[in-house]
Amino acid sequence: MRILTVLTYHYPHWTGLTAFAVRIAEGLAARGHEVTVLTSRHRRDLPVQEVHNGVRILRLKSLLRLSRGQVMPGFPHTVWRLVRQHDVVQVHTPMLETALVAALAHGAGRRMLLTHHGDLVMPAGPFNQLVQHSVGGLLSLGARMTDRISIYTDDYARNSAFLRPHLDKTVAVLPPVAFPPPQPEVVSAWRQELGLENAEIIGFAGRWVEEKGFDYLLQAVPRILDRHPRAVLLYAGETRVVYERFYERCRPLLEAHGERIHELGLITDPQRMANFYALCDVFTLPSRTDCFASVQVESMLSGTPVVATEIPGARQVVRLSGMGRLVRPGDPQHLAEGISDVLDDPAACTRPREEIARIFDYDKAISDYEALLESLLPVKD
């Protein structure tokens, strides 16, 4: 099977969406399929073309960045050429050009799978809202034109304004999660290096953007300290997000609890990230919106329970695993209670790694995507 995968950002860019897209592409390539990824050359030091872990990556020159997107003048011509060289197309959304890819694919007699990683949610402000409505309209057109849609959970699909009109062609496929076990000796040394041997560590990770709800966690700190005076926050991720300045808006809260917050920066190495999770006594995801969030599964595979907001999609990880607590969204008091309850008795909501790995099975996820793409192959006479 010759598969053309299209998305705005790919390796070595690192977000949850990119991580899942990389794993799907590499998992399919490892099974003998010919996988080509078309993406943006979002950094000038990246090669125009390379093969990485069996996947051919083609990067198009970007004229400029528009909010979270990239303007690529050569995109239409390149897609038209590539769709005719492949058997089936997969587009990872949100992506501005989804409808265009669908039109070009159908024009070449190819069918398309739209793999949706979450509705586009932009922060407040006239420009951001203009982007959200404009791109949202184009995404909806793409959803109408595509042949099938995959999403992580039925829970998210049923509650998504974007997906609800297309439930008849939407299928839930849990994403592939492959993650190394932590290294206990390294974790212990790291804790000492940070001077946190006697602390209760609350971990959080991801891009520092409004939808992740880190401001709620900062607001919860005084309430957490009432029950756990040795608690500290440990953050791994990017604070300088080019399309959003939410970190700066959170600065008063950060300064109010400066001695309780430790920032490690962005961690892209999976082994170091596994050690980060194991360093924590509890991991929290206080998101306003979140389709799934791989950090939850990664934390659980590293032996650390999760406290997450009970929102569509994201809540399914704790529901399926039982390894954590769910709290009301936008409620710092309830978030503090959930974190404190887990710190009181972490063993009560900890599950064996093997149990988590069976639920979020990498090989099954690749098999499900393989079968879904094969169902879209052109019918031979």
Instruction: Look over the chain and give the mean of its residue pLDDT values, rounded to a whole number.
Output: 92
Q: What are phi and psi of 246, to 5 degrees?
A: -70, -30
Predicted pLDDT of residue 129: 55
**Does 214 score more than 80 pLDDT?**
yes
Provide the CATH topology of domain 184-359. Rossmann fold (3.40.50)
Q: Domain-by-domain residue ranges, the chain? A: 2-177+361-374, 184-359
CATH match for 2-177+361-374 among 3.30.750.24, 3.30.499.10, 3.20.20.60, 3.40.50.2000: 3.40.50.2000
Q: Any idea which residue has 């300290």 for tokens?
A: 225
| 188-200 confidence digits (pLDDT tens) | 999 999 999 999 9
Confidence label for 380 from pLDDT (cuts 50, 70 and 90): low
Cis, bond preceding 47 (omega within 30 deg of 0): no
On the 0-12 / 13-18 / 19+ scale of CB atoms within 10 A, 379 is exposed
Query: What global pTM score does this model have?
Result: 0.89
Categorize the per-residue pLDDT at 226 as very low, low, confident or very high, splitting at 50, 70 and 90. Answer: very high
Q: Would you say residue 122 has pLDDT above 60? A: no
Is pLDDT larger for residue 319 or for residue 128? 319
pLDDT tens-place string over residues 267-297: 989 999 999 999 999 999 999 988 888 899 9
User: Do the domains 2-177+361-374 and 184-359 sit in the same CATH topology, yes or no?
Assistant: yes
Which residues have CB under 8 Å from 124's CB, separation 6+? none
Which element (helix H / strand E) includes 75? helix 75-83
Distance separating the N- and C-terminal Cα atoms of the chain? 17
The two structure tokens encoding residue 120: 């586009």
| Residue 17, amino acid | L
Query: How does strand 148-151 pair with strand 49-52?
Result: unpaired
Q: Which is it for the CA torsion 21, 7, 92, 276, positive or negative?
A: positive
Higher pLDDT, 130 or 220: 220
Averaged pLDDT for residues 206-211: 91
